[in-house]
């Protein structure tokens, strides 16, 4: 295919072509600048329609200020909620129907998402029906690329987008902006609401760049040495997006490596959920013990024993040890939590009065 040629027939009555492009990198690496430049280039030179979803613009700053700032797990749920809205938009495009508000939603995030689509002329104002929006011709007439602008510093964050692309047989690619942390920090400090330096430094230590040798699903990835200008017409980037659109992810693709990746991510998520719940149970238990005036050295022993119990449970989950935790199932940890609660209560009885 020559550059400038659409990767499929448009206006022929066939299904619309969809593509996802994930921009990942540290704050200040130039993702937003690149997304604007890329959106303009794809519209002018490829004749495609483009949706730019900038997470920072849709999830309000007020969520991250003061004492009510969300925990990392809540931030994760906001990101997943935004993907759910994006899926609603895709379903409206594919089915040729109106965009309706999901029943379960955070109103302020949904409104920001709707305004994002309106600002890009992809939906019109509400119809006579409450929370229903008509798609414009721009949303359904040509190949449509969705550019997602967020840090996406964990591979698992990007994999969630890949799963969505696979579900709807859409193209998928990644652009990783590699920028020296000193440059990121300097650019970030020039923002009206900069991210704290220590957060960027922490991300830099944790960030997981695409690994095409390990993860087959990341083969459509390109690392860009970021200059921050975003104005250059990068032929490699254009070719990558064309290739991804021409070769969408197969919905029922059988891939052993992909299944293994699914399993690892699922296992990691379960361990994370269990760890968070175990910590909460221990925290509540210790607080009650303090309220019962348990003396200091006994309280110390109680904490040590509870932490050991937590470590043992997590290791058994990690190793799939069903002898200790026979109730464990791959897709549910509720029985495991109940068992942990039970064993916690047994330990507590050694240190606090029976009426506890």
Per-position pLDDT tens, the chain of length 356: 333 333 333 344 456 789 999 999 999 999 999 999 999 989 888 889 899 999 988 986 655 554 444 445 567 788 889 999 999 999 998 888 889 888 888 899 999 999 999 999 899 876 556 678 898 877 776 789 999 999 998 888 899 999 999 999 999 999 999 999 999 999 999 988 888 898 889 889 889 999 988 888 999 999 998 765 554 557 899 999 999 999 999 875 445 555 555 555 556 677 778 888 889 999 998 888 888 888 877 888 888 889 889 888 888 887 766 665 655 544 457 778 888 888 898 888 888 765 54
pLDDT of residue 352: 76
pLDDT of residue 2: 33
- In the chain, the N- to C-terminal Cα span, in Å, equals 74
Which residue shows structure tokens 């040629």? Answer: 5
Instruction: Write the CB contacts of 126 (distance below 8 Å, at least 6 apart in sequence).
Output: 132, 133
- Range list for CATH 3.40.50.300 in the chain: 18-252
Tallying the residues shown for the chain, one arrives at 356
Q: Please give the Cα distance from 173 to 246 (Å, whole number).
A: 12
pLDDT of residue 293: 83
Distances (CA, A) of 150 to 147, 157, 292, 303: 10, 10, 47, 39
Q: Please give the Cα distance from 13 to 105 (Å, whole number).
A: 33
pLDDT of residue 314: 84
Give 155: exposed, middle or buried? Use CB within 10 Å, 0-12, 13-18, 19+. buried
196-205: long-range contacts, CB 8 A cutoff, minimum separation 24: 199/27, 200/26, 200/27, 200/28, 203/26, 203/27, 203/151, 203/153, 204/26
pLDDT of residue 7: 37
CB of 24 closer than 8 Å to CB of 150: yes
pLDDT of residue 356: 47
pLDDT of residue 25: 93
pLDDT of residue 195: 85
**HEC sequence for the chain:** CCCCCCCCCCCCCCCCCEEEEEEECCCCCCHHHHHHHHHHHHHHHHCCEEEEEEHHHHCCHHHHCHHHCCCHHHHHHHHHHHHHHHHHHHHHHHHCCCEECCCCCCHHHHHHHHHHHHHCCCEEEECCCCCEEEECHHHHCCCEEEEEECCCCCHHHHHHHHHHHHHCCCEEEEEEEECCHHHHHHHHHCCCCCCCHHHHHHHHHHCCCCCCCCCHHHCCEEEEECCCCCCCCCHHHHHHHHHHHHCCCCCCCCCHHHHHHHHHHHHHHHHHHHHHHHHHHHHHHHHHHHHCCCCHHHHHHHHHHHHHHHHHHHHHHHHCCCCCCCCCECCECHHHHHHHHHHHHHHHCCCCCCCC
CATH T-level assignment (fold) for domain 18-252: Rossmann fold (3.40.50)
> In this structure, how many other beta carbons lie within 10 angstroms of the beta carbon of residue 152?
25
Task: Give the closest residue to 150 by CA, choosing from 21, 315, 23, 293.
Answer: 23
What tokens appear for 1 in the block?
Answer: 């295919």
């Amino acid at each position: 295919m020559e550059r400038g040629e659409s990767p499929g027939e448009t206006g022929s009555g066939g299904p619309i072509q969809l593509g996802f492009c994930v921009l990942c990198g540290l704050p200040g690496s130039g993702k937003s600048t690149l997304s604007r430049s890329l959106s303009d280039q794809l519209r002018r030179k490829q004749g495609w329609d483009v949706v730019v979803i900038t997470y920072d613009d849709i999830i309000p700053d007020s969520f991250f200020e003061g004492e009510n700032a969300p925990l990392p797990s809540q931030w994760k749920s906001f990101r997943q909620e935004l993907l759910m809205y994006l899926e609603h938009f895709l379903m409206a495009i594919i089915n040729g129907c109106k965009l309706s508000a999901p029943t379960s939603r955070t109103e302020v995030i949904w409104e920001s998402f709707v305004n994002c689509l309106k600002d890009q002329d992809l939906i019109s104002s509400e119809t006579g029906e409450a929370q229903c929006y008509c798609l414009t011709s721009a949303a359904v007439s040509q190949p449509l690329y969705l550019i997602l602008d967020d840090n996406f510093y964990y591979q698992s964050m990007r994999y969630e987008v890949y799963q969505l692309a696979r579900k709807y047989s859409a193209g998928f690619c990644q652009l990783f902006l590699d920028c020296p942390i000193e440059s990121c920090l300097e650019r970030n400090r020039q923002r009206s609401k900069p991210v704290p330096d220590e957060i960027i430094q922490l991300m830099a230590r944790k960030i997981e760049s695409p690994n095409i040798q390990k993860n087959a699903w990341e083969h459509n990835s390109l690392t860009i040495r970021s200059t921050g200008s975003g104005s250059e017409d990068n032929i490699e980037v254009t070719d990558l997006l064309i290739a991804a659109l021409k070769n969408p992810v197969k919905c029922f693709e059988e891939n052993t490596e992909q299944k293994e990746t699914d399993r690892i991510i699922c296992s990691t998520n379960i361990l994370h959920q269990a760890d968070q719940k175990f910590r909460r149970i221990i925290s509540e238990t210790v607080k009650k013990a303090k309220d019962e005036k348990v003396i200091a050295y006994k309280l110390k022993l109680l904490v040590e024993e509870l932490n050991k119990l937590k470590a043992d449970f997590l290791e058994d989950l990690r190793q799939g040890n069903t002898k200790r935790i026979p109730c464990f199932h791959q897709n549910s940890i509720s029985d495991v939590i109940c068992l942990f609660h039970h064993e916690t209560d047994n330990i507590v009885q050694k240190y606090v009065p029976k009426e506890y």
